[in-house]
A and B are shown apart, each in its own frame.
Chain A
């Protein structure tokens, strides 16, 4: 690696502690999600006579959501590679591509929620649906805040360039974004795939 690539990390002593702090936040988020998952598993059969996952979930839509999030994860990886190459245009391009995939994910999710509510499968309908909307909605909220953060970073990269503080923030956003994709793996496996099987 060239000297240039090292300066980002060379000046990173205070960075290390900040990054670790952010990591600890992510770990606390793991605990939060784990309890939402547990709650969902406990009440997943309590449909109160209403429809269960078998009738409600559309596997095709979930697959597209999953693909949107997975593609956004790899495109964020490309943004990080551009960042290390000090290629400002590349960072902006890949951040925007990531943003588009993220918006696609959220759009599909909101569409699914809309259809569910339209069919009468509201959060109030059963314990299963309360837990479903809480768990999937919490993940969706995280992704939405991630999208906001991506826009903020697009602005910072455009105005300030890839300076060490900006690179440091991008690094934490990358952790956050990849983390959300990992949580989604647990969501589609526990909620949708297991739910469709009944």
Chain B
């Protein structure tokens, strides 16, 4: 992991000045592939239910990461440290809220079912 100045400069260039065509096209093509796969898997029922659900979940997460990197230009460079940091913090809050809510509601469902 060399931190040569030349490397740093190049990095800044792609992020700020350079927002180059290659970055957008790469992101676009990857997104296209990652959209066609889950739609095909569900629409044409290529796989079983369990496998299909996993494919949908995995391609969604990967495509979100792809678009965050190639379109929103989020990475671990010093320039986007605050953006990436606040995104990671939001992810933590999101995990607590979503995970906590789902836990609460499913637990509640189980308890009310038992009472019936």
Contacts and interface: CB of A to CB of B under 8 A. Distances in A.
Interface residues of B, number: 44
A186 B87 CA distance: 16
Given A20-B83, A24-B86, A81-B21, A182 B42 contact: no
Q: Looking at chain B's contact residues, is the secondary structure mostly helix, strand, loop, or mixed?
A: helix
A81 B19 contact: yes
A77 B57 CA distance: 26
B97 A31 contact: yes
B16 A70 contact: no
B87 A27 contact: yes
Contacts of A63: 35, 39, 43
Interface string B69-84: 0011000000000110
Nearest to B74: A23
A1 B18 contact: yes
B107 to A, nearest CB: 12
Given A6-B17, A74-B28, A194 B86 contact: no
Contacts of B57: 189
A186 B60 contact: yes
A70 B31 contact: yes
Interface stretch (A34-42, A96-104, A115-123, A152-160): A34-42
A73 B30 CA distance: 13
A139 interface: no
B71 A38 contact: no
Contacts of A178: 67, 71-72
Interface residues of A, number: 42
Nearest to B70: A77
A182 B97 contact: no
Nearest to A183: B64
Contacts of B31: 70, 73
B24 to A, nearest CB: 4
A149 interface: no
A80 B82 CA distance: 22
A197 B31 CA distance: 22
A31 B94 contact: yes
A38 B98 contact: yes
Given A37-B98, A77-B27, A175-B72, 14 more contacts: A23-B83, A27-B86, A27-B87, A34-B94, A59-B43, A66-B39, A70-B28, A77-B24, A185-B35, A185-B60, A185-B63, A185-B67, A189-B59, A197-B53
Interface of B: 13, 16-21, 24-25, 27-28, 31-32, 35, 38-39, 42-43, 49, 52-53, 56-57, 59-60, 63-64, 67-68, 71-72, 82-83, 86-87, 89-90, 93-94, 97-98, 101-102, 105
Interface of A: 1, 5-6, 9, 20, 23-24, 27, 30-31, 34-35, 37-38, 41-42, 59-60, 63, 66-67, 70, 73-74, 77-78, 80-81, 84, 175, 178-179, 181-182, 185-186, 189-190, 193-194, 196-197
